[in-house]
Structure 1
Amino acid sequence: MSGAQGKLKEVVNLKSKFNFRLMIDDAHGFGTMGATGAGTHEAQDCIDGVDIYFGTFAKSMAGIGAFIASTEEITNYFRYNMRSQIFAKSLPMPMVVGLRKRLELLKSQPEMREKLWFIAKTLQSGLKERGFDIGVTDTMVTPVFLKGDLQEATAITMDLRENYGIFCSIVVYPVIPKGLIMLRLIPTALHTIEDVNRTLDAYSELAVKLEKGHYKGKSATLLPK
């Protein structure tokens, strides 16, 4: 949630002492992490130590659905024994065609991944320079931690969307401690430096508003422009 990578290599090294299979959920890593975008296990040089790789089509592939990659024996076992698969429907064929094209783009246009990282790093460094707490992210996931409650969080996101034209997702208690707000920005390869600067300016303004109590006790639907 905070953009910090798991310590996969250290976990893989435990296989020398214990007998286990390792499954990872690499939702944000697939398509963005590693030299070819294969995932976080590629970035940490421990692909061979991951037995079951779970990824989603909802992040870098901008679609729906997910996948599991492993040996034929393991994937066949899952296919016929996973409770969630019993009544599962196949992906719509237009989505399958689109996902195949996106996978082709991930392979053939590495410059898109490089642009994504450039935008994400520029955004993250800009936020830190303006005094924002972005935690310890070392991925393109860009969280901003603020102090406030759920009502303030919803009012902030409403203000950003309606008055600044900026979308972000919010994370609040019980995912994070009470009294904290996590705003997660979503940089993409299609964003520009102008988009980054506009976002930084908007966040600087909302931080001042939050400090002055502008969002306190207000309904997001009644937030003034």
Structure 2
Amino acid sequence: GVFGMAGDQGKLKEIAALKGKYDFRLLVDDAHGFGTLGETGAGAGEAQGCQDAIDLYFSTFAKSMASIGAFVAGDRTIIDYIRWNIRSQIFAKSLPMPLTLGNLKRLDLLRTQPELKAKLWENATKLQKGLKEKGFDIGNTDTPVTPVYMKGGVEEATAMVMDLRENYGVFASVVVYPVIPKGHIIYRLIPTAAHTDADIQETLKAFSETKAKLDSGAYKVEAIPDMAEAR
């Protein structure tokens, strides 16, 4: 449903329309869409008006739900087949009861407190708007997933992400070669409903300052910094 690195949505509605011409089932991995997209938070399919065309819907409680576990939803015949035949499910254990109850509570919050999703989008919009105003390239994201594209090597990316975390208090996932081409860096930011305007402004300031360091060559090192020794 959502490309986890770039933050843009897949063309589910266009793909679903092809089901009238071709005989296939549609499976959607919506790890980043569930809980954040659509009127009720049901995901990318709901947001694009084609939820009923999805035959098998997969998502996780590890993203918007900030927990552990995942689920597959679909026709009972398919689910029963998966339950008894998928190799990774054989001898697997259920989630511990505290996590199960916690996930059920999170689903309840999603249904009963839509203001949380609204706040998430308010924060995501402010962050993305602020980054673009400061000249950062965030691609074509149309979800809270916020990639920041830069140029640099693996060592520079590592030094910069450590600087962001240790000296600015900003956590960002970093993506480098071989996941993406050499010389390119993606810092992935994902705001939450709990962040404040002050948090967003601090993040924008941190990225402006560290980007200036990156451009000046301050992060050029011969080897990847040892984060354990840095402490």
Question: Fold match, TM over 0.5?
Answer: yes
Q: Which amino acid aligns with 2:41?
A: G
The equivalent residue for 2:202 is 198
Among all aligned residue pairs of Structure 1 and Structure 2, give the percentage whose two residues are the same amino acid. 62
Write the letter of the residue equivalent to 2:126.
Answer: T
SS where residue 53 of structure 1 aligns? Answer: strand
- Opposite residue 186 of structure 1, the aligned amino acid is I
| Paired letter, 1:38 | A
Measure the CA separation in 2 of the matches of 1:46 and 1:53: 12
Gaps of 5+ in 2: none
Residue 136 of structure 1 pairs with residue 140 of structure 2: yes
CA RMSD of aligned residues (A): 1.5
Aligned AA (2:77): E
The structure 1 residue matched to 2:58, chosen from 54, 60, 63, is 54
Is the aligned partner of 1:122 residue 2:116? Answer: no
Superimposed CA distance per residue, residues 115-135 of structure 1 (whole angstroms, 9 cap, x where no aligned partner): 000000100010000000101
Q: Distance in 1 between matches of 2:36 and 2:83?
A: 27
TM-score normalized by the length of structure 2: 0.94
Shift of residue 87, structure 1, vs aligned partner: 3.0
Alignment partner of 2:93: what SS? Answer: coil
1:176 aligned to which of 180, 200, 208: 180
In structure 2, distance between residues paired with 1:220 and 1:113:
38
What is the Cα deviation at residue 224 of structure 1? Answer: 8.2
Work out whether 1:30 is the aligned partner of 2:34: yes
Q: Equivalent residue of 2:226, what SS?
A: helix
Report deviation, 1:49: 0.7
One of 217, 225, 228 as aligned partner of 1:220: 225
Tell me which residue corresponds to 1:17: 21
> Segments of 4+ in structure 1 off by > 3 A?
221-225
Deviation track 1:7-26 (CA, whole Å, cap 9, x = no partner) reads 00000000111000000000
Match of 2:72 in 1: 68
Structure 1: state its 5+ residue gaps: none
CA–CA distance in 2 between the matches of 1:65 and 1:154? 29
